[in-house]
Amino acid sequence: MTVADADRIALRFQEEAVFGTTPGGDVTATITTTEATRTYSAAAGLDVFSVGQTILIAGLAQSASNGYKTVTSASATNLVVDEDIGTGEGPVASVTLKNALNEVRLTGESLGQATAIQESQEIRDDRQVADVRRTNRNAEGDISYEFSYGAFDKFLEAALMASAWSTAVTITTDTLSMASGDNSINDAGGAYAHTASLAITGNDTITRDAGSWVTDGFRDGMVITCSSSEDAGNDGDWTITAISALVITIGAGGLTNNAADTAMDIVNAGGFVTDGYAADQWIRTSGFTTAANNDFYKIVSVAAGKMVLEGNTCVTEAAGDSVTVLMGEQITNGTTQHYYTLEREYTDVDEFALYTGMQVDTWTLDTNSDGIITGTFGWIGKDETSAAATESDGTAQSAASNLVYSAIDDVDGILEALSDKSLKAFTISLANNLRPRNVIGTLGPESIGVGRVTVTGTFQKYFESETLIDKYLNFTPTTLTMILDDNSGSGNAYVIDMPEVKFTNGRRVAGGTGQDIMADMEWSAFRDSSEDVTIRIARFPE
C-alpha cells in the first residue's frame, strides 16, 4: 500500500476570470505577433483564454515570444500579454498556446472543505437521530511560506486587492548629484545653449556636429523646451523618442527644417516629472561614489530637476558618476477581487484535489531576529473536488527560485517615523474580512463578500528610552516601513510601507531576574489622508 507523503505534494495555482470557474485552453493556431502592443493574433479561437491566466506559448521563431505569458486582454482574434515579446513575425503556422498553472513554494498548508451540517431535531421514541443534513459548504485554509523575492507577488496583489503592479521607472545618467541641505537628488542634465549650428531635418530630428546630447544629460522620453529658434514654430515643448550622441529624434514630427539654426536653445522641460517619478513612491539609487548615497528613499516632492527625499540621509556629492535611480513597481490596498483555482497534487499516489473560487482573506509576515522570514496566506473559496488529472494543459510554470529572506542578512531596515530601529521581532497581519455569500438552492457560496481591510502588527524592542512608549501613551501617529534586500548579490528587494500608524498597546515590564526589559508594542495602520493608502508594497528587481 502506498500512503501519500506530505513531502511529495505539489501545489499550483491559476487566476480565474469568473468566480469558481477554472480556466483552460489548448489551442494550435496560425499566429501573427505585434511587438509594440504585446499582441498575438489569430483567425479565431483565442477567447478560450481569460484575463489573468498564465499560458505557455511555443512554436514562434522569436524566443522572447515563446514561454510563459500572463493574459491582460483576450478576444477571439487577439491576446495581449503583460510580458515583452520579440520582434513581430507571422503568420506562423502550428503555434501552440496552452493553459499553464503556476507552482507554489510552501512549508505547509491546511486547505480543505468546511461543511456546515445540521442534525434533525425530530423526536423519536427510540432516542436516535433521524438524519444529518448538509446545509452548506465552502473551501478554506492556509498556505505557509518562507518569504522570497518574486515567489508570492500574485498572492500579495490578491491580499491587497490591488488591480496590478505599477510600471517601474528608471534612469541612468551622469548628471545626478546629491544635496544634504534639503536632502535631495538633483539633475543638472538636459541643457544646451547655442554654441554652434544645429541641423533640423525630416521635420523630426535635431543634429549637432560636436559634443553629445547624452553627455549633456538628455535622454529618451524626456520632454524638452526649444527656444530662441530661427523658426518660431520650432519653439515649444517636444518629447524625445530616440537619442544618440549627435541626434535627437522627436517622434511626433512637426519641426520646421533648417540646415543651420545657430540660435536654438534646448532645456529639460519636465525632468523627473515627465520621467514618471511621483511623490510618496520609493526609489533605490546606485552608482554614487559615496556609498551612503546608494540606498532606498521615499520621495517627498518632485520637480523637473529635483526630488526631495526622506527615509535616509543624503550626503552632498557632485554629479559625474553614472547613477541609476529606480522607482520600484508598487501595489497599494484597493478593491479588486482576485479569484484563484488551487491544485494540490499527491505525486506519490497520482491523485489531485482542486479548490475553486479561492480568494486571499488574510496575510501575515513574521520576522524574528534569529530566523527566516515566514508567513501565511489565509484563503476562503467556493469548494473542493477530487480530480484524476492536472488542470494544466501545458507544463506548470516553476516558482521564482530566489533565496529565502533571512532576518539577519536581508533586512535592510525597519523604520519607525522613517528612522531605523533595532528590533528583535516585527510582524504584519492583514485581513480583508471576507465572507461567503450563500443563497437558497445553491450549494456553496455564490460569491465572496468583502469587508474593510485591516492592517495590524507587533514589534519588540529592547527598552532604551520612553520615546516609543510615549507615542503609545499620547496616541501619536507615526509610520512603519520594512525594507527587505536580498544581499546574496541579486539586488532583489521589497519595501513594505504603512504611512499612517498608531500604537494600540505598549508594555515595558520586568519579566524576571536575568532578563532584558523589552518594549512590546502593538500597532494598527489606517488610511493616510494625503497618500490615500493604508499599505504600500514596492518591489525592486535586480
8 A C-beta contact, residue 278 and residue 299: yes
Q: Do the domain assignments include residue 358?
A: yes
Same-domain check for residues 358 and 442:
yes
218 has pLDDT over 90: no
User: Is 383 within 8 Å of 357 (Cβ atoms)?
Assistant: yes
What 8-state DSSP symbol labels residue 399? P
Average pLDDT of span 403-409: 94
Q: Name the residue with cell 540606498.
A: 295
Within 8 A by CB and 6+ apart from 437, the residues are: 445, 446, 447, 448, 449
Task: Answer whether 392's CB lies under 8 Å from 409's CB.
Answer: no
Which residues of 246-346 form beta strands (DSSP E)?
A: 247-250, 258-261, 265-268, 282-286, 296-303, 306-310, 323-327, 329-332, 339-346
The chain-wide mean pLDDT, for the chain, equals: 94
Instruction: Answer for the pair 42, 81: CB distance below 8 angstroms, yes or no.
Output: no
Whether 491 has a pLDDT exceeding 90, the answer reads no
Q: How does strand 236-243 pair with strand 296-303? A: unpaired
Q: What is the DSSP letter of 180?
A: T
Q: Are residues 246 and 367 in the same domain?
A: no
- Position 521 scores a pLDDT of 96
Instruction: Compute the distance between CA of residue 108 and CA of residue 86 in angstroms, rounded to an integer.
Output: 39
What are 439's three cell numbers? Answer: 443563497
Positions of E strands within 293-410 = 296-303, 306-310, 323-327, 329-332, 339-346, 351-368, 374-381, 383-387
Considering the domain boundaries, does residue 121 fall inside one?
no
SS3 at position 309: strand
CA 45 from centre of chain: 31
Span 116-129, mean pLDDT? 96
Last residue of a domain, one of 286, 312, 332: 332
Centre a 10 Å sphere on the Cβ of residue 533 and count the other Cβ atoms it contains. Answer: 20
pLDDT band, residue 401 (cuts 50/70/90): very high
Half-sphere exposure (Cβ direction) of 248: Cα atoms closer than 13 Å? 33
| CATH number of the domain that residue 264 is part of | 2.40.30
Give how many domains the chain has, as a whole number.
4
Given a contact cutoff of 8 angstroms between Cβ atoms, the answer to whether 180 and 292 are in contact is no
Q: What's the mean pLDDT in 260-267?
A: 91
The residues, any chain, with a CB within 8 Å of residue 76's CB and separated by 6 or more, are 44, 45, 46, 47
Whether 162 maps to a domain, the answer reads: no
Report the pLDDT value the prediction gives residue 489, as an integer from 0 to 100: 64
**What domain range is 52 assigned to?**
6-100
pLDDT category at 488 given cuts 50, 70, 90 is low
Of 332, 348, 379, the domain-final residue = 332
DSSP-assigned beta bridge partners for residue 404: 148
Residue 158 lies in a domain: no
Domain boundary among 314, 332, 350: 332
CB-hemisphere CA count at 13 Å for 197?
9
The answer on 251 and 201 residing in a single domain is yes
The answer to whether residues 221 and 356 belong to one domain is no
Looking at the structure, tell me whether residues 373 and 510 fall in a common domain.
yes
Q: Are residues 396 and 299 in the same domain?
A: no
Which of 96-100, 444-448, 509-513 is the least confident region?
A: 509-513
The span from the first CA to the last CA of the chain, in angstroms, equals: 48
| pLDDT cut 70: percent of the chain above it | 99
Let me know: does 248 contact 241? Beta carbons within 8 Å: no
Tell me: do 253 and 299 sit in the same domain. no
> Which residues in 163-268 belong to E strands, given as ranges?
169-173, 176-179, 184-187, 191-192, 198-201, 205-207, 223-227, 236-243, 247-250, 258-261, 265-268
Say which residues have a Cβ less than 8 Å from residue 217's Cβ, sequence separation at least 6.
Answer: 173, 174, 175, 187, 188, 189, 190, 191, 268
pLDDT of residue 480: 97
* pLDDT surpasses 80 at 2: no
Rounded to an integer, the average pLDDT of 194-216 is: 89
Predicted TM-score of the model (pTM): 0.89
* pLDDT surpasses 90 at 5: no
**Residue 1 within any structural domain of the chain:** no
Query: Same domain, yes or no, for 322 and 354?
Result: no
**Residue 304 pLDDT class (50, 70, 90 cuts):** confident
What confidence tier does 6 reach under pLDDT thresholds 50, 70, 90?
confident
> Is 136 part of any domain?
no
- 331-388: pLDDT as tens digits: 999 999 999 999 999 999 999 999 999 999 999 999 999 999 999 999 999 999 999 9
For the segment 95-109, the average pLDDT, to the nearest whole number, is 97
Whether 408 and 491 map to the same domain: the answer is yes
Mean pLDDT of 450-470: 95
Assess if residue 371 is contained within a domain: yes
Reported as a pLDDT band with limits 50, 70 and 90, residue 271 is: confident
423 and 364 in a common domain: yes
315 & 234 share domain: no
Residue partners of 301: CB distance under 8 A and separation at least 6: 279, 307, 308
Assess if residue 418 is contained within a domain: yes
- If asked whether residues 303 and 233 sit together in one domain, one would say no
Q: Give residues with Cβ within 8 angstroms of 95, minimum separation 6.
A: 28, 29, 30, 31, 40, 57, 58, 59, 60
Buried b (16+ CB within 10 A) or exposed e, 137-169: bbbbbbbebbbbbbbbbbbbbbbbbbeebbeeb
